[in-house]
Amino acid sequence: MIVTGASSGIGHALCCRLTAIGRPIISIDIGENPDEVDVERHYPCDLGSESDVAELFADLAKDFDISSVASLINVAGVPGTQPASKVFEVNVLAVRRLSRFVASYLTAGSSIVNVGSISGNGWQQRIDTYRSLLRLDDEEARNWWRDRKTSVEIDPYSFSKEAVIVWSMLNAGELQGTGIRCNVVSPGPVETPLLPTFREQIGNERIDWVLSHSGRAAKPDEIAQAIEWLAIGESGWVNGHHLVVDGGYTSGVLSGWIDLEGAPTPKVTHVD
Per-residue confidence (pLDDT) for residue 169, from 0 to 100? 98
pTM: 0.97
Show pLDDT as tens, one digit a residue, over the chain (272 residues): 999 999 999 999 999 999 999 999 999 999 999 999 999 999 999 999 999 999 999 999 999 999 999 999 999 999 999 999 999 999 999 999 999 999 999 999 999 999 999 999 999 999 999 999 999 999 999 999 999 999 998 999 999 999 999 999 999 999 999 999 999 999 999 999 889 999 999 999 999 999 999 999 999 999 999 999 999 999 999 999 999 999 999 999 999 999 999 899 998 899 98
Look at residues 115, 123, 113 and name the one whose alpha carbon lies nearest to residue 163: 123
Would you say 169 and 96 are in contact if contact means Cβ atoms under 8 Å apart? no
Per-residue confidence (pLDDT) for residue 217, from 0 to 100? 97
Domain ranges of the chain: 2-195+218-249
Per-residue confidence (pLDDT) for residue 272, from 0 to 100? 87
Look at residues 192, 197, 182, 190 and name the one whose alpha carbon lies nearest to residue 217: 190
* b/e sequence 74-86, b meaning 16+ C-beta within 10 Å: bbbbbbbebbbbb
For the beta sheet containing 71-74, the strands, ordered from the edge strand earlier in sequence to the opposite edge, are 41-44, 26-29, 2-4, 71-74, 111-115, 181-187, 242-245
Residue by residue, DSSP assigns 43-105 as EE--TT-HHHHHHHHHHHHHH--GGG--EEEE-----TTS-HHHHHIIIIIIHHHHHHHHHTT
Looking at the structure, give the CATH architecture of the domain made up of residues 2-195+218-249: 3-Layer(aba) Sandwich (3.40)
Look at residues 126, 199, 133 and name the one whose alpha carbon lies nearest to residue 162: 126
Per-residue confidence (pLDDT) for residue 1, from 0 to 100? 97
∠ Cα 249 239 9 (to 5°): 50
